[in-house]
Amino acid sequence: MRLSDVLSKEPMKEFVVVDNFAPKNSAQIGKSYKIEVGKVFLNQKCNNCNQVHQFYSDEILYFMPINADLLSIDCRLTCQYCGKTSVPVWFLIQVEGMSMTKGQKSVNILPTAKVRLLHRHFKYSSEVEPEPLKYKKEYSDLLIKADQAYYDQLGAGALVYLRKLYEMVTVDVAKDNGVAYQDRNGKTLNFRELLTRVDGQCSIIPQEFSANGYQLFSELSEIVHSSSTDEEVGMKKYTSLRRLIVGILDNIDDKRKKEELTAATRELSWSV
């Protein structure tokens, strides 16, 4: 596996072996170096094409040692279809098999070093946008913002977007199904009562954690409102909390599709 293959994937927890990319001599901390490690390929939305296409980098990338085990890698990805749009991207790589020199100013990278991708950040513009998710735009936008905050190591910020999404989708389901979601003064009900009503009538929480729908909201809120800005806790819990939120979105989408199929067979007077 080449280093470019790692950069073409999502951030990972495990270290993987990659082909040797180490320079012949030690690399000075804070100095940029060229490395030939293959092309990076990632999907993005090209606004020139108005479609999602694969974007690719040059064969030569640039890396900079940060400390004894971290490398910063920069490149620019170009639309493979039109070749007219591009987006800069930054990667943070952790290396197992890298050590400081005696002077503490340079690092040596072993040919057998293992790596893992910790984070990546795109500098989007009007030309390029993130690949849209399968959900309605408002939901996809919040998920993308949550993911970007997570990649930027803003754990609490990422959970703010997840909580906002949970609230939004619950209110939307209430509106779509005629569930009362406001009090006498026209204010939205507190979330516990709102969720109880919506889930009781529409079963938006997947069966696997149907008894813990509010606990999910509490987990999100606890970190968001924490007096100590503990980004580390948010980072550790983000993947699991995101999966549960996506599970709710998928569950709602599945129910909608089933209702559409039932309505279609009813219109055809088919017996089910």
- Model confidence pLDDT, tens digit, residues 20-42: 888 777 888 999 999 899 999 99
Residues facing residue 53 across a β-bridge: 44
The domain total for the chain is: 2
Whether 74 is in a domain gets the answer yes
pLDDT > 80? residue 227 = no
Let me know whether 102 and 157 are in one domain: no
Contact assessment for residue 43 and residue 131, using Cβ atoms and an 8 Å cutoff: yes
Whether 49 is in a domain gets the answer yes
The percentage of residues in the chain with a pLDDT greater than 70, rounded to a whole number, is: 98
Q: At 133, is the secondary structure helix, strand, or coil?
A: coil
Let me know whether 259 and 155 are in one domain: yes
Q: How confident is the model at residue 229 (pLDDT cuts 50, 70, 90)?
A: low
The domain boundary residue, chosen from 130, 164, 192: 130
Whether 45 is in a domain gets the answer yes
Let me know whether 156 and 226 are in one domain: yes
Q: At 137, is the secondary structure helix, strand, or coil?
A: helix
Average predicted confidence (pLDDT) for the chain:
89
- Model confidence pLDDT, tens digit, residues 178-199: 999 988 888 989 999 999 999 9
Stretch 129-150: mean pLDDT, rounded? 87
Q: How confident is the model at residue 54 (pLDDT cuts 50, 70, 90)?
A: very high
The domain boundary residue, chosen from 76, 103, 130: 130
Let me know whether 185 and 242 are in one domain: yes
Let me know whether 147 and 113 are in one domain: no
The percentage of residues in the chain with a pLDDT greater than 90, rounded to a whole number, is: 51
- Model confidence pLDDT, tens digit, residues 81-139: 999 999 999 999 999 988 887 777 888 888 888 999 988 889 999 999 888 778 888 99
The domain boundary residue, chosen from 73, 98, 130: 130
- The position carrying tokens 């735009």 is 137
Let me know whether 234 and 145 are in one domain: yes
pLDDT > 60? residue 250 = yes
- The position carrying tokens 């399968």 is 134
Let me know whether 119 and 145 are in one domain: no
Contact assessment for residue 13 and residue 116, using Cβ atoms and an 8 Å cutoff: yes
Whether 51 is in a domain gets the answer yes
Let me know whether 91 and 156 are in one domain: no
The kind and range of the H/E element at 236 are helix 231-267
Let me know whether 183 and 244 are in one domain: yes
Let me know whether 104 and 192 are in one domain: no
Domain residues for the domain of 22 are: 3-130
Whether 116 is in a domain gets the answer yes
Let me know whether 94 and 31 are in one domain: yes
Whether 114 is in a domain gets the answer yes
Q: What is the pLDDT of residue 71?
A: 93
Let me know whether 166 and 251 are in one domain: yes
Stretch 164-185: mean pLDDT, rounded? 92
Whether 272 is in a domain gets the answer no
Residues with Cβ within 8 Å of residue 248, at least 6 apart in sequence? 166, 169, 204, 205, 206
pLDDT > 90? residue 10 = no
Q: Distance of CA 201 to CAs 91, 101, 196, 214, Å? A: 45, 64, 9, 16
pLDDT > 70? residue 272 = no
